[in-house]
Amino acid sequence: MIKRNTQLLFALFALVFMSNVFVGKAEAGSLKDIPDKYAEEINYLINKSVVTGYPNGYFYPEKSVTREEAATMIGRALNLNGTERNTSFNDVDSSSYASGYIQSAVEKGIITGYGDGTFKPKNHITRGEMAFLISRAFNLTQISDIHYYDVERSGKRYEAINKVSTAGIAMGYPDGSYRPDQSITRAEFSLLVARGLNPDFKVEVQPQPIDSSVVSTAVLNVRTGPGISYDRIGQLTGGSIISIYKVVGNWAYMSYNDLKGYVHTDYLRENVRIVAIDAGHGDHDPGAQANGLVEKEINLDVALRTQRYLEKAGIKVVMTRTDDSFLKLNERIDYAVNRNADTFVSIHSNAFTPNAHGTETYYSTADLNPRAEASKMLATFIQERLVDALNTYDRGVKEGPFRVIEHNPLPSVLLELGFVTNDSDAAKLGSSFYRERAAKAIYLGIEDYYDWKY
């Protein structure tokens, strides 16, 4: 068995070697499990001996990187002295394979240990720590206005994360988060090192908008720079909702569809309608289950349908989740608040004894007026529309101690579409016809609320 594997490995190496010679580029598949989308970068590093596979022919792309592995990869990437030797840390022995790279990286100021004199070589490196490591290793200095909603906008960690993002080396997630405390996989870390070494692999990191506004004049000029002397590159019509990335004096750099440029802030108004739609539960938390229905799925489906109605009406939507993922309750609130939502609607389905049925909507008076009054109005409008659309029993608008509405600074409601435990309600909750009706009703209730408020 061993002999055959060795032969296979030689064959694979030969293949890589040949392709290098004749094609000039390594092919994916030198190791058995390198994902296609990372193949170019990883093979680039394999060819430079910065990373290696395991003796069994696997790369294990999803394995978390330890701090000593990260130091070794960086050390090899930068051609640091890897000779095993004594280190500045009491938990990295001179006999450790990584000792040389760790010590070299310390001497170059690339890595630091902990206050207690340890390096914790076997700990997984986090995405936040990785940003420090990469930014120092590749001497990144440039800062831009990229930010992530889960990274505080000051301090050394923010700077490091900003630098790796500005350099086009590390990206956040599509939801606008960076997840600094998450560990990093071998595939991900390889990508970053490859981008640090070779600019061809870099990506353009999209800046995140800091705000939204509505155009409050009939026609608004868009210019290439922050002043009337700059060329006009387009025009916006009144009511257009724009995303703002930065403000320079009285000018805002904005985007509207594909149009990007500067507009004068005197012709913008606040009070953009941004609704946070929160599909209750998710992932390992299914919520109520009965009659073949799983609450998290109903909630998500209705939430996505509601999103479509709202967006069609020009209302911006912030979705706490768009797939079967899980967020803690306070994360749902933070997400909405950080994305400038002005209204929060949490969608749920109920469960109790088989006889219990109907639709109800909750609000909280925890923070009293004016939030409580707005919440109650929002609940009342949505409840009315929902009962009508679903033709369910009207259980009413109630005060409830749910965390997502009680500890929420936004006008917020939690609605229970119906009972999965009741035959009649369950039939509706399981039908796409009624889910669509529910979504439209929620959207109309939100419109009623905005009409009342503005």
Which CB, 221 or 349, lies closer to Zn ion? Answer: 349
**Considering only residues 287, 358, 411, 445, which one is a binding residue for Zn ion as defined by CB under 5 A?**
287
Give which of 54, 51, 55, 21 is closest to 39, Cα–Cα: 51
* Contact mark string toward Zn ion, 344..383, x via CB under 5 A: ----x-----------------------------------
Supply the minimum distance, in Å, between the C-beta of residue 238 and Zn ion: 41
Torsion of the alpha carbons at 161, 164, 167 and 172, rounded to the nearest 10: -70
By DSSP bridging, strand 268-269 and strand 211-215 are: antiparallel
Q: Which region, judged by CB under 5 A, interacts with Zn ion, from 151-159, 284-292, 310-318, 322-330?
A: 284-292
Shortest Cβ 437–Zn ion spacing (Å): 20
Task: Please state, in angstroms and as integers, the Cα–Cα distance from residue 204 to each residue in 32, 46, 164, 170, following that order.
Answer: 30, 24, 11, 10
Range in contact with Zn ion (rule: CB under 5 A) among 5-13, 87-95, 180-188, 287-295 = 287-295
> For residues 362 and 306, is the Cβ–Cβ distance under 8 A?
no
Closest approach of Zn ion to the CB of residue 112, in Å: 45
Q: Enter the tokens of residue 415.
A: 């609605």
Binding to Zn ion in span 329-348, by CB under 5 A: 348
Contact 265, 242 (CB under 8 A): no
Count, residues near Zn ion per rule CB under 5 A: 3
Question: Binding mask 291-330 vs Zn ion (x if CB under 5 A, - otherwise)?
Answer: ----------------------------------------
Binding mask 389-428 for Zn ion (x = CB under 5 A): ----------------------------------------
CB of 326 to Zn ion, least distance (A): 13
CB of 353 to Zn ion, least distance (A): 17
Q: Are 103 and 111 in contact (CB under 8 A)?
A: no
Structure tokens at 319: 């979705």
Q: How far is the CB of 329 from Zn ion (least distance, A)?
A: 11
Q: Which residue has the tokens 């409008």?
A: 381
Based on DSSP, count helices (H) and strands (E) in the chain, helices before strands: 13, 15
**Residue 298: which residues within 8 A CB-CB, separation 6 or more?**
349, 417, 420, 429, 430, 435
Binding mask 252-281 for Zn ion (x = CB under 5 A): ----------------------------x-
- Residues for the chain: how many in total? 454
User: Judged by CB, which is closer to Zn ion: 213, or 408?
Assistant: 408
Q: Which residues bind Zn ion (CB under 5 A)?
A: 280, 287, 348
